Structure 1
Amino acid sequence: MTATGEAADAVRAHVPALVDERFASRLFAQDATLWGPEAESESAIRLSWVGLGQSSRPLVDEVAAIRADLGPDVDHVVLAGMGGSSLAPEVICATAGVPLTVLDSSDPDYVRAALGDRLERTVLVASSKSGGTVETDSQRRAYEGAFRDAGIDPTERIVVVTDPGSPLEASARAAGYRVVLADPNVGGRYSALTAFGLVPSGLAGVDIGALLDEADSVAGLLAEDAEGNPALVLGAALSGVDPKGSTGRRDKLALAADGTSVVGFGDWAEQLVAESTGKQGTGLLPVVVEGPQAPEVRWPASDVLPVLLVAADGDPASEPGEGDGTDGAAQNATTISVGGSLGALMLLWEAATAVAGRLLGINPFDQPDVESAKKAARGMLEGTPETGEPDLVDDGIELRGTPGLLDGVSDLPGAVAALLDRLEPGRGYLAVMAYLDRAEQAELADVRAPLALRTERPTTFGWGPRFLHSTGQYHKGGPAIGVYLQVTGDPAEDLDVPGQPFSFGHLIAAQAAGDAQVLADHDRPVLRVHLTDRAAGVARLREVLK
């Protein structure tokens, strides 16, 4: 790991004090007082992640036994989970080259496609820490119905992962499902090495024992009260503090894979950092970019910190021009470069995020603003999501904006321009939030880099509702400097949620409407773009945005 420029200045300014107060050893001793009196009660029940390299060992045999019981003919693993329950298994399996179907959407087209894929060979892992996650409950109900319709006993094909004492544990045991309990003293975004990360990954074929070995191998290093401790160094560099006070804080992190063999790490780190720090009007915004050629890395603004995920010892050789210091942020004065094995990186970033929380003066273990969007969505589920008449319609694309946003606007290009005009120069960011089928409409994500070039501001792209369990906390609780482009669309066909008075189409519409409402309540500018014809609408929207 290396830190240069202002990142190195921040390390020199803050790490000695962290060493003097024995932050690292106290963290790994699970000292709940490190983040102040107001955070102490939450921290006291959220620190078991520091020892998961050892405490999660029994899961290796437990998962192996479930896999053997399922038999060789059940080899398609589907994970129904949101946020920390899905992001960690996704990166674990992708890095290991092991197939895993991640079902973290309420979009009816996306859910229907999953239900139609190798059902006769499928085991569903339904993961929910609280036991009440509406998306996961709906997906589980859909699979129960599909299994029964196919003549398959759901109790033979569903594995439930949850916390002890949750409503899901009681109902799953009563129904006869296999239940694996997670460590209740670990928060969702720190749960990669608990049952939430290990059960689906192990059932899919990952060597989860080796993953725990990787984490355990660095635990001692990260617990040292020494100035070379990578967790202290990374946490200080990430905290966005400019000790010279000349350019302000670098509070946007441009995460770029630059030679690492770890696949998709930025998406996991995005939730960890954004949800842990984005509150009380402050926080760090991770911006997952395409690589070292992304605008935020090649030409970082004064508030952007390029973070390169580089090859480590033992990684396959990087491609020419990747991770070799020849381009991208390697030429910039202020950069962080981090490399390592996946298990080690996960524990490193968790510890570094705890350090950053201390330096930012916030509690890194709560998420006070995530519940606001959930509450709004639940309220709309009880009726019909009220979107109201569109402010204007342009060739089948309905446009709605927060008050005053679309005054004088007559078409889609004008609406987009009006939103971008609200960006605060030198400090703001743009968030694109797509409540669509992320498989069928995947090409929409390629608007991110062109928008970053167009605005010269950091630009994030998230699929809804999955980002609500990630950057959604930062959107509401972080600094009020964002502008938001929400994209929704009519599905090809709706899909009922068995046993519920709502459909998947109703659910995702309520989630989008609830999120937009809460953002508007926080005085964030929101442009809502609804595609009545998804294929044609995505093509037109891409053209306008790019």
Structure 2
Amino acid sequence: MTSVVTAGGVSVTIRGAVVDETETVLDRLVSDGVPGSLTSGHAGLWGPDAARAAARRLGWLDLPERSRGLLGRLAELVGEARGAGLDRIVLAGMGGSSLAPDVIARAGGAELTVLDTTDPHQVADVLADRLDRTLVVLSSKSGDTVEADAHRRVFERAFAEAGIGGADLRRRFVIVTDPGSPLEAVADAAGYRLVLADPNVGGRYGALSASGLVPCAVAGVDVVRLLDEAAALVPALQQPYDNPALALGAVLGSSALGGRDKLVVADNGSGLPGLDGWVEHLVAESTGKDGRGLLPVVVESVDAPGFDPAGDTRRIVLGSRPDEPVAGRDAELGVAGPLGAQFLLWEYATAVACRVLGVDPFDEPDVQESRDNTAALLRAEEGIAPTVVHTAPALVEGAVEVHARPESLKGAKDLAGVLEAAVTAAPDRGYLAVMAYLDRFGDASASGLRSLLAERGERLRKHAVPVTFGWGPQLLHTTGQYHKGGPPNGSFLQITGAVREDVEVPDRPYTLGQLQLAQAFGDQRVLRSLGRPAFRLHLRDRDEGIAQLTKVLTG
């Protein structure tokens, strides 16, 4: 059985038993009047405890029209940048402030350098590239993140060392932040260009807000087209039927209720590179709390290890259209359509799924604890507390140090045994999260460990273990909420690496390398305090260590 729901250029194709499983949830949503209540901004949809926050976080529904008020300001910024010869745009931001713009720029064929890391190697490479032509868009809704502070300080010093100051320096920054944030005060004091974000839109729901549009417009993307694509879907969102966003939300919600809480996501020709990562962020951080949630597992293709059917998964293909079969081993769900419409589609569907799950889609209560632990480590008398970070490894093999509690290692005597312990530590219906605090470009081959660990899991266990992969510290702002607030069934494998050449953070008692390590340890502290199995592999040499891990997993 196949059901296809289309509207506004978007199609959602549902196949097999999922059609019947979804029907009951969809009928309940319709009878409860959810489509009309949501589009009218009814804050009580997620219960009385969530109503206050929801009342301040539903502005994303109106962005296809309201964001057009930014177009004049965007034109000014583009003209000023081009007039000053600044044609290399760097976006410094985390989470929703970077993932959506990255997708928009890549889909629009524009060059946008996204800096969503504290890794000193990656930051140094960005600083070394065409600084004389660089404009930095510094985006942080809260304006108080440690990454935003570090990025601003590092770039200000780099510009000063290049002889760029005064009015020229003031032209080099565009700040995107909420009204009243600390970053707004910094922008006002320094004379940087400022675009205020909509305070009624949360970060992960802000793809069509200033957070998503400012960096991409300056980079040369036609953002009017993006808004037009989203606006075409708006009329359907009020409808009880022929509403692809409601249908998608019903699928997601019914899947979670039925115990299929892993969404294996593969791109199959969507033409929208990076959309899968944005979906992962939106769904995981919105739903993963109160011991519930949906975990997207992004895989490399429909043929990748880990896309196989398992008892607690739904397989989603991005790019499948209604006149084509859903590719990939009987995948149950295909989603296709233009980018602007897909942003709105997934935001609406995720909010609906949270209604079905009974969780608040707009808060992230477990994210702050990792930030607090990082701050505590950075405030330690000697920078990062040496007794916490520089502990003796449990095992050293070649270029890889192993740090883990003895009960987690299960007597492992070599690196192969450690990796098997990490895979098998995930309980039944659980998952393994690989968290790489490395340079996503210089150490890009580390991402290949996801599929290798998935293959190893298929050999070691009766049922395959879903394996996710994320780059730290970006993942703290994306899937981090799910890891700590979602179902307690994850196993966590951190990978950190030696720093060859560090980058100082001006007027702060730590370097970027120390900050990155503190972020890894701060998160690990939280995971361990929750009783989650957590392993850390430290690469004494990054290239050698990744090659060694690859060899062990392919041997």
**Superposition TM-score, scaled by structure 2 size:** 0.93
Q: Is the 8 A contact 2:122 2:439 kept in 1?
A: yes
CA 1:373–1:523 in 2, change beyond 3 Å: closer, same or farther? same
Q: Is the 8 A contact 1:311 1:340 kept in 2?
A: no
Pair 1:4–1:324, CA change in 2 (3 A):
closer
Structure 2 match to 1:491: 499
SS of structure 2 residue aligned to 1:198: helix
Q: Are the aligned partners of 2:202 and 2:362 in contact in 1 as well (CA < 8 Å)?
A: yes
Q: Which amino acid aligns with 2:528?
A: A
Question: Residue 328 of structure 1 aligns with which residue?
Answer: 328
Runs of 4+ in 1 over 6 A off after TM superposition: none
Q: Which residue of 2 aligns with 1:306?
A: 315
Structure 2 residue 338 is the aligned partner of structure 1 residue 341: yes
Using the TM superposition, give the Cα deviation of residue 259 of structure 1 relative to its aligned residue in structure 2, in angstroms: 2.0
Q: Structure 1 residues 366, 403: closer, same or farther in 2, change over 3 A?
A: farther
Alignment of 1:28-107 (within 5 A): 28-71=39-82, 73-107=85-119
| 2:446 aligns with one of 444, 447, 461 | 444
CA contact (8 A) 1:93 1:206 kept: yes
* AA in 2 matched with 1:46: R
Cα separation, partners in 2 of 1:17 and 1:339, compared to 1, 3 Å: same
The reply to whether residue 360 of structure 1 matches residue 354 of structure 2 is no
Alignment of 1:285-434 (within 5 A): 285-297=295-307, 299-311=308-320, 324-325=324-325, 327-329=327-329, 331-332=330-331, 335-383=332-380, 384-385=384-385, 386-387=388-389, 388-425=391-428, 427-434=429-436
Rounded Cα–Cα distance in structure 2 between residues aligned with 1:38 and 1:261 = 40
Report the Cα offset of residue 532 of structure 1: 1.0
Comparing 399-408 and 96-105, the one that deviates more: 399-408
Q: Distance in 2 between matches of 1:407 and 1:339?
A: 45
> Unaligned 5+ residue runs, structure 2?
1-11, 458-463
1:110 partnered with 2:122: yes
Deviations 1:235-287 (A, max 9, x none): 010124377xxxx4211111111121111100001110000000011100001
1:406 CA displacement = 2.2
Within 2, Cα distance between the matches of 1:200 and 1:112? 21
Q: State the SS of the aligned residue for 1:71.
A: helix
Equivalent residue runs for 1:8-23 within 5 Å: 8-23=19-34
Q: Report what 2:5 is aligned to.
A: none
Structure 2 residue aligned with 1:208: 223
Q: Residue type matched to 2:432 in 1?
A: L
Aligned residue for 1:145, secondary structure, equals helix
The offset of 1:432, in angstroms, is 0.4
- Aligned residue for 2:43, secondary structure, equals coil
Number of residues of Structure 1 aligned to a counterpart in Structure 2: 527
Deviation of residue 311 (structure 1)?
A: 5.0
Seq. identity, %: 49
SS, match of residue 405 in structure 1? helix
Q: How far is 1:294 from its partner?
A: 2.1
Q: Shift of the alpha carbon at 1:9?
A: 2.2
Find the aligned partners of 2:264 and 2:237 in 1 and give their Cα distance: 24
Describe how 1:144-163 pairs up with structure 2 within 5 A. 144-153=156-165, 154-163=169-178
Identify the residue that residue 210 of structure 2 maps to in structure 1: 195
Deviations 1:279-304 (A, max 9, x none): 0111000011111112333x210211
Instruction: Kindly report which structure 2 residues correspond to 1:201-280, keeping only aligned pairs within 5 A, or say none.
Output: 201-224=216-239, 226-241=240-255, 248-280=258-290
Q: 1:523 aligns with which of 507, 528, 531?
A: 531
Any conservation in 1 of the 2:293–2:482 contact (CA below 8 Å)?
Answer: yes
AA at the equivalent of 1:325: P
5+ residue gaps, structure 1, are: 314-322
When normalised by structure 1's length, the TM-score is: 0.94
Q: Partners of 1:136 and 1:108 in 2: how far apart?
A: 14
Alignment of 1:135-174 (within 5 A): 135-153=147-165, 154-174=169-189
Instruction: Write the letter of the residue equivalent to 2:421.
Output: A
State the alpha-carbon separation in 2 of the partners of residues 4 and 326 from structure 1: 8
> 1:494: Cα distance to partner?
0.9
Residues 1:240 and 1:515: Cα distance change in structure 2 (over 3 Å): farther
Q: Conserved in 1, the CA contact under 8 Å of 2:13 and 2:321?
A: no
Give the Cα separation in 2 of the matches to 1:200 and 1:372: 30
Shift of 1:487: 0.2
8 Å contact 1:16–1:227 — kept in the other structure? no
SS across alignment from 2:407: coil
Q: Match for 1:179 among 185, 194, 199?
A: 194
State the secondary structure of the residue aligned to 2:314. strand
Structure 1 position 402, deviation (Å): 3.2
**Contact 2:92 2:148 survives alignment (8 Å):** yes
